[in-house]
A and B are shown apart, each in its own frame.
Chain A
Amino acid sequence: MSSLNLDPTLVARARELAALAAQPVIDLAHRHTTVSVERAVLRLAGLTGTDPVTGEGRTEDRVPWVNRVVDAVRDQVGLESGVALPVWHALASGAAPDLQTLAEQVGAGTARFAVPDGVQAERAQEAASAAAAAGIARIDANRRRREELVALHGDPPRRPWIYLIVATGDIHEDIPQAQAAARAGADVIAVIRSTGQSLLDYVPEGATRTGYAGTYATQENFRLMRAALDDVSAELGRYVRLTNYASGLCMPEIAVLAGLERLDMMLNDAMYGILFRDINPKRTFVDQRFSRMVHARAGIIINTGEDNYLTTADAVDEAHTVTVSQLLNETLAKEAGLEDWQLGLGHAFEIQPDLPESFRLELAHALLARTLFPDAPLKWMPPTKHMTGDVFRGYLLDGFFNLAGALTGQGILLVGMMTEAVVTPWLSDRDLALRNVRYVLNAAGNLAEDFAPPPGGFIDRRAHTVLTEAVDLLGRIADHPEGLIQAIADGTFGITKRPIDGGKGLGGVVELGPDAYNPALELLEAKETSHA
Chain B
Amino acid sequence: MPDGSIVRPYGDTTGDGMIQTSFTLPVPMGPKAEGAALQLATKMGIEPAMVVHSHAIDSGYTFFVVYGSVKHLVDLDEVHVEERAYPLLTSGEVNGAIKGRLHRELVVLGACIGTDAHTVGIDAILNVKGFAGEKGLEYYREMAVTNLGAQVTVPELVARARADRADAVLVSQVVTQKDAHLRNTRELAAAFREAMGESRPLLVVGGPRFDPAMAGVLGVDKVFGRGTTPGEVASYLIHALIPNEETAA
Q: Determine whether A495 belongs to the interface, using a CB cutoff of 8 Å to chain B.
A: yes
Q: Determine whether A421 belongs to the interface, using a CB cutoff of 8 Å to chain B.
A: yes
| Inter-chain contact A196/B120, CB cutoff 8 Å | yes
Residues of A within 8 A of B10 (CB): none
| Inter-chain contact A431/B57, CB cutoff 8 Å | yes
Beta-carbon nearest neighbor of B126 in chain A? A278
Q: Determine whether B127 belongs to the interface, using a CB cutoff of 8 Å to chain A.
A: yes
Q: Determine whether B239 belongs to the interface, using a CB cutoff of 8 Å to chain A.
A: no
Q: Determine whether A153 belongs to the interface, using a CB cutoff of 8 Å to chain B.
A: no
Total contacts A-B at CB 8 Å: 53
Chain B 135-160 interface 0/1 with A at a Cβ cutoff of 8 Å (1 = within): 10011000000010100000000000
Residues of B within 8 A of A440 (CB): none
Known contacts A276-B129, A428-B22, A431-B63, A312 near B139 by CB under 8 Å = yes
Q: Which of B197-221 contact A (CB under 8 A)?
A: none
Q: Determine whether B184 belongs to the interface, using a CB cutoff of 8 Å to chain A.
A: no
Known contacts A495-B128, A496-B128, A312 near B135 by CB under 8 Å = yes
| Inter-chain contact B58/A184, CB cutoff 8 Å | yes
| Inter-chain contact A504/B127, CB cutoff 8 Å | no
| Inter-chain contact A277/B63, CB cutoff 8 Å | no
Q: Determine whether B235 belongs to the interface, using a CB cutoff of 8 Å to chain A.
A: no
CB distance from A216 to the nearest CB of B (A): 14
| Inter-chain contact B24/A428, CB cutoff 8 Å | yes
Q: Determine whether B133 belongs to the interface, using a CB cutoff of 8 Å to chain A.
A: yes
At the interface, is chain B mostly helix, strand, loop or mixed? mixed
| Inter-chain contact B138/A496, CB cutoff 8 Å | yes
Residues of A within 8 A of B129 (CB): 276-277
Chain A 190-231 interface 0/1 with B at a Cβ cutoff of 8 Å (1 = within): 000001100100000000000010000000000000000000
| Inter-chain contact A421/B133, CB cutoff 8 Å | yes
Residues of A within 8 A of B123 (CB): 196, 199, 277-278
Q: Which of A406-458 contact B (CB under 8 A)?
A: 420-421, 426-428, 431-432
| Whole-angstrom CA separation of A432 from B63 in the bound complex | 10
Chain A 482-512 interface 0/1 with B at a Cβ cutoff of 8 Å (1 = within): 0000000000000110000000100000000
Q: Determine whether B172 belongs to the interface, using a CB cutoff of 8 Å to chain A.
A: no
Q: Determine whether A275 belongs to the interface, using a CB cutoff of 8 Å to chain B.
A: yes
Q: Which of A303-329 contact B (CB under 8 A)?
A: 311-312
| Inter-chain contact A278/B147, CB cutoff 8 Å | yes
Beta-carbon nearest neighbor of A273 in chain B? B129
| Inter-chain contact A277/B58, CB cutoff 8 Å | no
CB distance from A51 to the nearest CB of B (A): 18
Chain B 48-73 interface 0/1 with A at a Cβ cutoff of 8 Å (1 = within): 00000000011001010000000000
| Inter-chain contact B57/A427, CB cutoff 8 Å | yes
Beta-carbon nearest neighbor of B22 in chain A? A428
Residues of B within 8 A of A426 (CB): 24
| Whole-angstrom CA separation of A384 from B132 in the bound complex | 11
Beta-carbon nearest neighbor of A421 in chain B? B133
Best-buried of B129, B135, B149 by chain A (most CB within 10 Å): B129
| Inter-chain contact B139/A496, CB cutoff 8 Å | yes
Q: Determine whether B119 belongs to the interface, using a CB cutoff of 8 Å to chain A.
A: yes
Known contacts A427-B24, A428-B57, A496-B139, A195 near B120 by CB under 8 Å = yes
Beta-carbon nearest neighbor of B91 in chain A? A312
Q: Determine whether A183 belongs to the interface, using a CB cutoff of 8 Å to chain B.
A: yes
Residues of B within 8 A of A495 (CB): 128, 138-139
| Inter-chain contact B128/A428, CB cutoff 8 Å | no
| Inter-chain contact B138/A278, CB cutoff 8 Å | yes
| Inter-chain contact A277/B57, CB cutoff 8 Å | no
Q: Determine whether A180 belongs to the interface, using a CB cutoff of 8 Å to chain B.
A: yes
| Whole-angstrom CA separation of A250 from B81 in the bound complex | 47
| Inter-chain contact A384/B133, CB cutoff 8 Å | yes
CB distance from A88 to the nearest CB of B (A): 33
| Inter-chain contact B57/A312, CB cutoff 8 Å | no
Beta-carbon nearest neighbor of B119 in chain A? A199
Residues of B within 8 A of A311 (CB): 135
CB distance from A402 to the nearest CB of B (A): 19
CB distance from A383 to the nearest CB of B (A): 12
Residues of A within 8 A of B128 (CB): 275-276, 278, 312, 495-496
| Inter-chain contact B149/A504, CB cutoff 8 Å | yes
CB distance from A235 to the nearest CB of B (A): 12
Residues of B within 8 A of A195 (CB): 120, 124
Choose from A184, A277, A432 the contact partner of B127 (Cβ within 8 Å). A277
Residues of B within 8 A of A431 (CB): 57, 63
CB distance from A439 to the nearest CB of B (A): 13
Chain A 461-476 interface 0/1 with B at a Cβ cutoff of 8 Å (1 = within): 0000000000000000
Residues of A within 8 A of B133 (CB): 384, 420-421
Beta-carbon nearest neighbor of B132 in chain A? A421
Residues of B within 8 A of A428 (CB): 22-24, 57, 63
| Whole-angstrom CA separation of A496 from B137 in the bound complex | 10
| Whole-angstrom CA separation of A159 from B139 in the bound complex | 36
Best-buried of B57, B61, B135 by chain A (most CB within 10 Å): B57
CB distance from B228 to the nearest CB of A (A): 15
Beta-carbon nearest neighbor of B118 in chain A? A196
Residues of A within 8 A of B22 (CB): 428
CB distance from B247 to the nearest CB of A (A): 25
Q: Which of B26-78 contact A (CB under 8 A)?
A: 57-58, 61, 63
* Inter-chain pairs besides A277-B123, A278-B127, 20 sampled, C-beta below 8 Å: A180-B57, A180-B58, A183-B58, A195-B124, A196-B123, A199-B123, A212-B120, A276-B128, A278-B147, A312-B139, A427-B24, A427-B58, A427-B61, A428-B24, A428-B57, A428-B63, A431-B63, A432-B63, A496-B139, A504-B149
9 A-B residue pairings within 8 Å (CB atoms): A196-B119, A199-B119, A199-B120, A278-B127, A312-B139, A428-B63, A431-B63, A495-B138, A496-B128
* Leading 7 A-B pairs by shortest Cβ distance: A196-B120, A276-B129, A428-B24, A431-B57, A421-B133, A180-B58, A276-B128
